Amino acid sequence: MVSLKKKKSKEAEIPTGSMADIAFLLLLFFLVATVIDVDTGIGLTLPEYIPIDEQEVVPLPKDRLAALLINENGDVLLNKKIIAIPQIKENLKERITSKINLPKNKKLVVSVKTDRKTNYNLYIQALDQVKGAFAEVREEYSMTTYGAEVDELDEEQTKDVRDKIPIIISIAEPEQIK
């Protein structure tokens, strides 16, 4: 008698033994291709563009203004006194600290002005100093009032720090080219 038993068919299976290897290969590819570069830099908001003939000149009291001038030779003037770039921070910190408890419209305004031939790197160094001064004053204020670093403050406290020490940097209108 012929056996009528069906032949037992082989179970269809995908070999999974090498799956790990394949996955590792893919993983390696993405590991190599990944660039986790975080964009870092000095943030700033430019002033609104107003045509020259519509501009109004708002006088600023002298004690509010810190005018920073950088000329093409790399000389730096802070309120008409020659100063080295690394000294900017200390100079400004004092003035910012003295204005913490003044109302909003009396805070320090730092104005940065350059020549057309000024080196860009110098400008960034100067701007860095200015930003650093503000950041350090914020840090000190936060340590003395809240006993914590700026990053650890809650929303309300952060707002208070920002209100007390606003970063006002003005990029001066470029001079007309003669």
For another protein, the binding residues (CB under 8 A) are: 16, 19-20, 23-24, 26-27, 30-31, 33-36, 38-49, 114-121, 123-125, 127-129, 131-132, 134-135, 171, 174
- C-alpha dihedral sign at 77, 82, 86, 87: negative
Q: How far is the CB of 149 from another protein (least distance, A)?
A: 15
Taking the least distance from each CB to another protein, the nearer of 12 and 52 is: 52
Q: How far is the CB of 77 from another protein (least distance, A)?
A: 15
Q: How far is the CB of 152 from another protein (least distance, A)?
A: 17
Taking the least distance from each CB to another protein, the nearer of 9 and 16 is: 16
CB atoms under 10 Å from CB of 127, counted, come to: 20
- How far apart (Å, rounded) are the C-alpha atoms in residues 37 and 44? 21
Taking the least distance from each CB to another protein, the nearer of 139 and 160 is: 139
Taking the least distance from each CB to another protein, the nearer of 30 and 156 is: 30
The bridge status of strand 81-83 relative to strand 169-171 is unpaired
SS3 68: strand
User: Which of left, alpha, beta for 137 (phi over 0: left; psi -120 to 50: alpha)?
Assistant: alpha
Taking the least distance from each CB to another protein, the nearer of 7 and 117 is: 117
> Among 64, 67, 60, which Cα is nearest to 130's?
67
Strand order in the sheet with 65-70: 81-83, 76-78, 65-70, 109-114, 169-171
Q: How far is the CB of 53 from another protein (least distance, A)?
A: 15
Q: How far is the CB of 89 from another protein (least distance, A)?
A: 9
